[in-house]
């Protein structure tokens, strides 16, 4: 028996170190596909053994053995770091409507602010933005280019909802 250290789950973050271990003489069953693991290397995580191909993120299907040495679990899901943070991380409050944004929701980010997708629009004309569109932040208001430039031309800029 070689190199099968016990794994420690860090209770708080629920991140778990994966080990690449060499199998014993007796083949282990894979916790993913239930077949025997005959590969040279297998992964040990959550006190179970896995084919390198079978330990996948429940969300994006990426092979966790390749992504890094850490995986995350919650509610019986095995997740990569990115999906874990997306699903269970704290997003914060929407800078437009100031309601809390559920962590699993898609958000727009501008500087330090986060927005609901629905809230991310020019706050004067309600124009929506696509990825790559230009937008401006002025006094923490989202503005489209037109409204931003119009505002610059007026003296004593005081935006009014049209
Ligand atoms: Zn398998
Ligand atoms: Zn993932
Ligand atoms: Zn919002
Ligand atoms: Zn606008």
Per-residue pLDDT at 162: 53
128 and 77 assigned to the same domain: no
Co-location of 74 and 102 in the same domain: no
Domain-located, residue 4: no
Q: Which one of the ligands is nearest to 125 CA? A: 4
Residue/partner pairs of 102-110 with CB below 8 Å, 24 or more apart: 110/135, 110/137, 110/142
Closest ligand to 30 CA?
A: 1
Residue at a domain's end among 32, 58, 87: 87
Look up the domain containing 108 and give its range: 92-156
Q: Which tokens go with 47?
A: 């006190």
Q: What is the pTM of this model?
A: 0.46
Please give the tally of structural domains in the chain. 2
Q: Are residues 97 and 146 in the same domain?
A: yes
| 84, 59 contact by CB (below 8 A) | no
pLDDT, residue 153, reads 86
Residue that is last in its domain, among 63, 87, 111:
87
Indicate if 83 and 96 belong to the same structural domain: no
Q: pLDDT value at position 86?
A: 75
Q: Is the domain of 148 the same as that of 105?
A: yes
What's the gap in Å between 49 CA and the centre of ligand 1? 9
In a domain, 78, yes or no: yes
Q: Around Cβ 131, how many Cβ atoms within 10 Å?
A: 5
Spacing, Cα 46 to ligand 2 middle (Å): 17
Q: Within this chain, do residues 78 and 104 fall inside the same structural domain, yes or no?
A: no
Q: 23 with 81, same domain? A: yes
- Counting ligands in written order, which one lies closest to the CA of residue 60? 2
Measured distance between the N- and C-terminal CA atoms of the chain, rounded to whole angstroms = 74
Sign of CA dihedral 54, 60, 63, 65: negative
pLDDT of residue 17: 64
Is residue 162 one of the residues assigned to a domain?
Answer: no
Cα separations in angstroms, 9 against 12, 70, 76: 9, 10, 14
Q: What are 29-59's pLDDT values in tens digits? A: 999 999 998 888 888 888 888 898 899 998 8
CATH of the domain at 128: 2.10.110.10
pLDDT, one tens digit for every residue, the chain (162 residues): 333 233 332 333 455 666 666 666 677 899 999 999 888 888 888 888 889 889 999 889 888 876 556 788 877 788 888 888 777 776 788 998 999 887 767 788 887 888 888 899 999 999 988 777 888 888 888 899 999 999 888 755 555 555
């Amino acid at each position: 028996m070689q190199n099968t250290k016990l794994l420690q789950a860090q209770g708080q973050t629920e991140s778990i170190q994966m080990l690449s271990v060499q199998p014993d003489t007796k083949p282990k069953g894979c916790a993913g596909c239930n077949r025997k693991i005959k590969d040279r290397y297998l992964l040990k995580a959550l006190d179970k053994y896995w084919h390198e191909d079978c330990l996948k993120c429940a969300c994006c299907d990426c092979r966790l053995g390749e992504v890094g040495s850490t995986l995350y679990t919650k509610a019986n899901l095995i997740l990569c770091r990115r999906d874990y943070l997306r699903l269970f991380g704290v997003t914060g409050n929407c800078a437009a409507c100031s309601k809390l944004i559920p962590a699993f929701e898609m958000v727009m980010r501008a500087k330090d602010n986060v927005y609901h997708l629905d809230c991310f629009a020019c706050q004067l004309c309600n124009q929506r933005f696509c990825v790559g569109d230009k937008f401006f932040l002025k006094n923490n208001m989202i503005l489209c280019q037109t409204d931003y430039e119009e505002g610059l031309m007026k003296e004593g800029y005081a935006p009014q909802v049209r």
